[in-house]
Amino acid sequence: MSTIALKVNGRSHTLDLDPATPLLYVLSDDLELRGPKFGCGLGQCGACTVISNGRAIRSCTTPVGTVAGAEITTLDGLGTPEKPHPIQQAFIDEQAAQCGFCLSGVIMTAKAFLDQNPKASEPEIRQALSGVLCRCFTHTRMLKAIGKYAEGRNA
Ligand code: FES
Ligand code: FES
């Protein structure tokens, strides 16, 4: 066990943990955040995606010790039900969800990508999202919502 300092959604935490513990377990079990989801646990579906120092990472395969001190953002840190983040509002406006299980990963992946590539084209956005799986086949509406958000932030 080691003492690990984590900064998540603007709040600092000091936790006694095995540094090899997947970040996802710490976010879910220790910090009780419900944004990141456990899908495959193998880095293959994207449901667990969070943003670390501006980069989308898969928290199920990220040992917590490797992100000590990093600025981590989960879906829980983006907006609130009363004041959703503009990307969340775009998903609400487009009704871009079925079961919603993939949404946290889709939104965090899209946000990190557009923060780094504000002028990305539709095919580039599609490519960036290609590794985040949606079992409900809601891709078309989600891409529409992301496109709307991308347009709005460039306006
Ligand atoms: S749960 Fe992490 S990529 Fe699937
Ligand atoms: S909305 Fe169900 S997995 Fe994507």
Which of 77, 107, 127 marks a domain boundary? 77
Choose among 136, 117, 133, 114: nearest CA to 145. Answer: 114
What average pLDDT does this structure show over 19-39?
A: 98
pLDDT of residue 126: 96
Please say if the pLDDT value at position 83 is more than 90.
Answer: yes
Which of 38, 56, 77 marks a domain boundary? 77
pLDDT of residue 153: 87
Average pLDDT, the chain: 96
Q: Give the domain range for residue 45.
A: 2-77
Identify which ligand lies nearest to the alpha carbon of 131. Answer: 1
Please say if the pLDDT value at position 16 is more than 90.
Answer: yes
User: Does ligand 1 have an atom closer than 6 angstroms to the CB of 102?
Assistant: no
pLDDT digit string (tens) for 85-144? 999 999 999 999 999 999 999 999 999 999 999 999 999 999 999 999 999 999 899 999
Choose among 117, 120, 132: nearest CA to 50. Answer: 132
pLDDT of residue 155: 78
Ligand 2 centroid distance, CA of 151 (Å): 24
pLDDT digit string (tens) for 45-79? 999 999 999 999 999 999 999 999 999 999 999 99
- Backbone dihedral angles phi then psi of residue 99, each to the nearest 5 degrees: -75, -25
Same domain, 70 and 100: no
What is the percentage of the chain residues whose pLDDT exceeds 90?
96
Same domain, 48 and 92: no
Identify which ligand lies nearest to the alpha carbon of 22. Answer: 1
User: Does ligand 2 have an atom closer than 6 angstroms to the CB of 133?
Assistant: no
The one-letter code for the residue type at 39 is: G
Angle at 51 between CA 26 and CA 39, to 5 degrees: 60
User: Does ligand 1 have an atom closer than 6 angstroms to the CB of 46?
Assistant: yes
What one-character-per-residue DSSP string does the chain give? -EEEEEEETTEEEEEEE-TTSBHHHIIIIIS---SS--S-SSSSS-TTEEEETTEEEEGGGSBGGGGTT-EEE-GGGT--SSS--HHHHHHHHTT--SS-TTHHHHHHHHHHHHHH-TT--HHHHHHHHTTS--TT--HHHHHHHHHHHHHHHH-
Same domain, 58 and 93: no
Same domain, 90 and 130: yes
> Is the pTM higher than 0.85?
yes
Among protein residues, the one whose CA lies closest to atom 3 of ligand 1: 43
Q: In a mutational test of the pocket of ligand 2, which residue from 44, 98, 107, 141 has the highest number of ligand atoms less than 8 Å from its CB?
A: 98
Same domain, 64 and 100: no
